[in-house]
Structure 1
């Protein structure tokens, strides 16, 4: 009960701020007037939880520039970690969220006894290796320290990147979601530190290399494509693409279906490409 009470207070505070901000935001100049038919179709606002960048920015673009044309009102609740957006959904504080890829969603569902369902893929946050000490992974010395995400899905992506770069070998038959326990060979005796994803950027001064997903780099004003000393191989964009998600049984909510459609509007693709310059990739 302590968690629920604390979560409620945090959520209400953050949600109120988001609603106040939304109500004070200027109306988009080019938005088409909302018809009475459209307005009546979506009589209740659609509430969503997100992480701020880029998901929150993309959703805010849709809220301000595209949703009014469809008669859809969107309210946004932001969190700075990977757990709270799903927990907000579980607690009923929101109707859906927009911040996660399928492997993360599936693992979270198992860990927290949730039945989540993802809709269409929207954008991809590339994962890369970054360093304040070296300019190439070939410069890593014996015993070097590398920080990686502590969630199993993005941690697995980090391990695959290290394997692709020839720094480690995973044991044969490793499951799709690899962990440090699956490392069969580590010739440079690399020390892997598993830490929470939002803290990876701050770890750069304390480690030789940090492997970070693109959303946190963008939030810090960096560009994954330009600043990484190594990037994960292409090919998994759809699997690791960020999607709108909700509790199973709610996916047919007309408001959720409409937002799922709006997130694939060509203007969203244009917004992502212009704003993030390759650091975030639209996948539709």
Structure 2
């Protein structure tokens, strides 16, 4: 089952769970459905994460003895808040650089599995080629550090920026790193997809899940990230440290199954979502 939650609703859900259970929320292993399958509540972005989880729930979960309750979130902060508060058992939406930043800044204590899939970063433009982007052109980019660096490296690959290192941000760019004098407008990743068509924006760098959710395709993008080989931005299942129950371990195993790999490849044959190698 899929259910959508917002940032505001998450605190209420967690509070209800705590008060209804007298402050003792059952673990994933203690919740079972009428057939005796262990219920695992997983937070996820709607596309592709919740869609992949729904495939698992409908085709693989029952035989493995688990039953997925899928909670959809439309932003990147809420799934980790919900996991930390205990209103979900695991989440599936994030990559390692994002998780490491969240742990460093929020103090979360999470563990995670290996990457399941990757969605390439893509930049959309009103211009037909990179060469058409003017000096001083406006680039819309995410305001979160982990994904912002990813966007800057994409611009470097395209020859628009130079000598980007792991500490570079839009605020620290020097004239030598930014020879075209590009102007950067930072915003939340879920907002960037809404302004991608703004004629004042010369280039909008979008996260894969949000562009898919908006019905966009990387085949229409001016720049697309190369995701071949090892890539730190593969998305994985995460859970609270020390709480990888048997049911969570089973879900993680199913997400890495040949059936899921085949589903991803068949559902997104153009590479908008790719299983990890």
Question: How far apart, in 2, do the equivalents of 1:167 and 1:141 lie?
Answer: 10
1:261-280 aligned within 5 A: 261-277=253-269, 278-280=271-273
- Residues 246 and 178 (structure 1 numbering): CA distance in 2 closer, same or farther, change over 3 Å? farther
- Residues 125 and 200 (structure 1 numbering): CA distance in 2 closer, same or farther, change over 3 Å? same
Q: Note the C-alpha offset of 1:9.
A: 2.8
2:144 pairs with 1:146: no
Q: Note the C-alpha offset of 1:234.
A: 3.6
Question: How far apart, in 2, do the equivalents of 1:108 and 1:204 lie?
Answer: 26
Q: Note the C-alpha offset of 1:76.
A: 0.9
Q: Note the C-alpha offset of 1:164.
A: 1.5
Question: How far apart, in 1, do the equivalents of 2:107 and 2:272 lie?
Answer: 33
2:120 pairs with 1:126: yes
Contact 2:116 2:236 in 1 (8 A): yes
- Residues 12 and 53 (structure 1 numbering): CA distance in 2 closer, same or farther, change over 3 Å? farther
Structure 1's unaligned 5+ residue stretches are 14-38
Question: How far apart, in 1, do the equivalents of 2:222 and 2:115 lie?
Answer: 27
RMSD: 2.1
2:25 maps to none
Structure 2's unaligned 5+ residue stretches are 1-6, 17-34
- Structure 2 SS opposite 1:114: coil
2:171 pairs with 1:181: yes
2:1 pairs with 1:8: no
Contact 2:142 2:148 in 1 (8 A): yes
1:204 maps to 196
Question: How far apart, in 2, do the equivalents of 1:7 and 1:67 lie?
Answer: 26
2:80 pairs with 1:90: no
Contact 1:168 1:183 in 2 (8 A): no
Q: Note the C-alpha offset of 1:216.
A: 1.3
**Scaled by the length of structure 1, what TM-score is found?**
0.81
1:27-176 aligned within 5 A: 42=37, 44-131=38-125, 133-170=126-163, 174=165, 176=166
- Structure 2 SS opposite 1:200: helix
Q: Note the C-alpha offset of 1:250.
A: 1.2
Contact 2:264 2:274 in 1 (8 A): yes
Question: How far apart, in 1, do the equivalents of 2:206 and 2:167 lie?
Answer: 17
Q: Note the C-alpha offset of 1:274.
A: 1.4
